């Protein structure tokens, strides 16, 4: 039974402890939460065609404003019908605002009240990302969920810098809201909570942002090099401060264990490059933990990668073949490994949501993690 919600409508169906199962309406379909968003930085989930993606069944993927603005250009994508038509994807798309990429990719950049100026990593040309500019780019791309321009303070930033930065992030967030009328063209706008690793600054950032009518709230500034304990501590403090009736999005997270911990703490949406990036270096996520296909023990192993997995890769090929492709650097290795890793992440979300709806999430989480060896080799 698929319920159809209007763009921006969020329905909280069930809570199991602080874990939530819900529905979020977008202009390109209704999302079942908790949801994992595969990362499609440059208008493609690397190594997958939109047909592979459709077969895997994500309802939403992530695109990066920074990359698409620099190449091929947001106005060119708009002239070609928008990102959905351009890449042949008819599900929902969330775009990050580009601020994070500027801070994490760029050496040369300046942060001022107006916005952040930076040099393109492609041709060295200079650009300004203002709140108004990043909203305009995301509107041009036709993104279903847009993110505000924010400053993701580096791990280890001191309290004074962090406190000052969150004020700027709030002023930028307000300007983004003013630049995009509520639900205009069915496009949603999320705020991003900052405040580093200072619980009181996190509360202040959340309080300020909740005064602005956003369609959802992201928790930024995490997965930036901190320990798991530090991330969970800030997450446990911040998630419950956010509105119960709006989606909560944890940016850039994470491992299967992080996803289950995040869900337990009340997070509804996740994105991470791990399943796609690790697939390309042979690291695969399975029901028995993380492993690497290049291990010699797989050289003549006729078994499927993960006997518990129903994906195309596990249904069709042996570990021996997947290892051969990887050692030979065959292009098919990247596609098959990515199909499996994305399937694993999406299926984990599907199972987690079913467990929440049946009020057995905690037992589910314990069972998965009991069999999950973080460093299974």
Catalytic residues: 96, 271
Q: How many amino acids of this chain bind ligand SAQ (CB under 6 A)?
A: 15
The listed partner (ligand SAQ, Zn ion, none) that binds 311, CB under 5 to 8 Å by sort, is Zn ion
> Alpha-carbon distance 72 to 259, whole Å?
32
Beta pairing class for 269-272 and 248-250: parallel
Please identify which residue in 58, 252, 282, 304 interacts with ligand SAQ, judged by CB under 6 A. 252
The listed partner (ligand SAQ, Zn ion, none) that binds 224, CB under 5 to 8 Å by sort, is ligand SAQ
Ranked by CB distance to ligand SAQ, the top (closest) residue is: 252
The nearer residue to ligand SAQ, 97 or 337, going by C-beta atoms, is: 97
User: Per CB under 6 A, which of residues 127..166 are in contact with ligand SAQ?
Assistant: 150, 152
> Alpha-carbon distance 14 to 22, whole Å?
7
> Alpha-carbon distance 103 to 165, whole Å?
13
The nearer residue to Zn ion, 127 or 294, going by C-beta atoms, is: 294
User: Per CB under 6 A, which of residues 80..99 are in contact with ligand SAQ?
Assistant: 96, 99
The listed partner (ligand SAQ, Zn ion, none) that binds 340, CB under 5 to 8 Å by sort, is Zn ion
Can you spell out the DSSP letters for 150-182? ---PPTT--HHHHHHHHHHHHHHHHHHHHHS-T
Please identify which residue in 27, 61, 148, 314 interacts with Zn ion, judged by CB under 5 A. 314
Edge-to-edge strands, sheet with 10-16? 10-16, 19-26, 29-33
The listed partner (ligand SAQ, Zn ion, none) that binds 284, CB under 5 to 8 Å by sort, is none
Q: Which part of the chain contacts ligand SAQ (CB under 6 A), choosing from 83-91, 129-137, 200-208, 214-222?
A: 214-222
User: Per CB under 5 A, which of residues 323..362 are in contact with Zn ion?
Assistant: 340
Q: How far is CA 83 from CA 269, 342, 345, in A?
A: 21, 21, 24
Which of the 8 DSSP states describes residue 221? S
| Minimum distance of ligand SAQ from residue 223's CB (angstroms) | 3
The answer to whether 121 and 42 are in contact (CB under 8 A) is: no
The listed partner (Zn ion, ligand SAQ, none) that binds 142, CB under 5 to 8 Å by sort, is none
| Minimum distance of ligand SAQ from residue 102's CB (angstroms) | 10
The listed partner (ligand SAQ, Zn ion, none) that binds 221, CB under 5 to 8 Å by sort, is ligand SAQ
- For residue 187, which of 121, 93, 307, 279 has the smallest C-alpha distance? 93
3-state secondary structure at position 272: strand
Does 221 engage in binding with ligand SAQ (CB under 6 A)? yes
The answer to whether 161 and 194 are in contact (CB under 8 A) is: no
Residue 129: CB atoms within 10 A of its CB come to 24
Binding mask 2-31 for ligand SAQ (x = CB under 6 A): ------------------------------
> Alpha-carbon distance 149 to 111, whole Å?
12
| Minimum distance of ligand SAQ from residue 277's CB (angstroms) | 8
Which of the 8 DSSP states describes residue 212? S
Q: How many amino acids of this chain bind Zn ion (CB under 5 A)?
A: 5
Residue 359: CB atoms within 10 A of its CB come to 13
> Alpha-carbon distance 267 to 185, whole Å?
26
Token readout for 225 is: 């090099």
The answer for residues whose C-beta is within 8 angstroms of residue 296's C-beta and 6 or more apart is none
Please identify which residue in 116, 206, 311, 356 interacts with Zn ion, judged by CB under 5 A. 311
The listed partner (ligand SAQ, Zn ion, none) that binds 251, CB under 5 to 8 Å by sort, is ligand SAQ
The nearer residue to ligand SAQ, 100 or 364, going by C-beta atoms, is: 100
Does 38 engage in binding with ligand SAQ (CB under 6 A)? no
| Minimum distance of ligand SAQ from residue 21's CB (angstroms) | 24
Residue 287: CB atoms within 10 A of its CB come to 15
Token readout for 83 is: 């990102």
Does 251 engage in binding with ligand SAQ (CB under 6 A)? yes
Q: Which residues bind ligand SAQ (CB under 6 A)?
A: 96, 99-100, 104, 150, 152, 192, 220-224, 251-252, 273
């Amino acid at each position: 039974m698929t319920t159809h919600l209007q763009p921006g409508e969020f329905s909280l169906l069930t809570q199991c402890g602080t874990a939530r199962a819900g529905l979020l309406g977008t202009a390109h379909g209704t999302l079942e939460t908790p949801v994992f968003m595969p990362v499609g930085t440059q208008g493609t989930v690397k190594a997958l065609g939109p047909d592979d993606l459709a077969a895997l069944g994500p309802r939403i993927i992530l695109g990066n404003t920074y990359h698409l603005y620099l190449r091929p250009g947001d106005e060119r994508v708009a002239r070609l019908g928008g990102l959905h038509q351009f890449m042949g994807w008819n599900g929902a798309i969330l775009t990050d605002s580009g601020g994070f990429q500027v801070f994490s990719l760029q050496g040369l950049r300046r942060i001022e009240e107006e916005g952040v100026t930076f040099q393109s990593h492609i041709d060295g040309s200079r650009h300004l990302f203002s709140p108004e500019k990043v909203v305009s780019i995301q509107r041009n791309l036709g993104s279903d969920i847009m993110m505000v321009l924010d400053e993701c303070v580096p791990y280890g930033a001191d309290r004074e810098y962090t406190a000052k930065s969150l004020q700027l992030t709030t002023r930028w967030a307000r300007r983004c809201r003013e630049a995009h009328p509520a639900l205009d063209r069915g496009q949603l706008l999320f705020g991003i909570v900052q405040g580093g690793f200072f619980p009181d600054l996190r509360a202040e950032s959340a309080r300020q942002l909740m005064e602005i009518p956003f369609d959802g709230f992201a928790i930024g500034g995490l997965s930036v090099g901190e320990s798991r304990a530090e991330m969970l501590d800030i997450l446990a403090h911040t998630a419950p401060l956010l509105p119960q009736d709006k989606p909560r999005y944890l940016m850039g997270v994470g491992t299967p264990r992080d996803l289950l911990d995040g869900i337990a703490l009340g997070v509804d949406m996740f994105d991470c490059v791990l399943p796609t990036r690790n697939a390309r270096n042979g690291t695969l996520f399975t029901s028995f933990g993380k492993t690497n296909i290049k291990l010699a023990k797989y050289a003549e192993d006729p078994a499927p990668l993960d006997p518990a997995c129903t994906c195309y890769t596990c249904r069709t090929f042996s570990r021996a073949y997947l290892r051969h492709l990887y050692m030979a650097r065959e292009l098919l290795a990247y596609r098959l490994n990515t199909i499996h890793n994305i399937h694993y992440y999406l299926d984990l979300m599907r199972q987690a949501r079913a467990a929440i709806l049946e009020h057995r999430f905690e037992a589910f989480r314990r069972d998965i993690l009991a069999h999950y060896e973080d460093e299974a080799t």
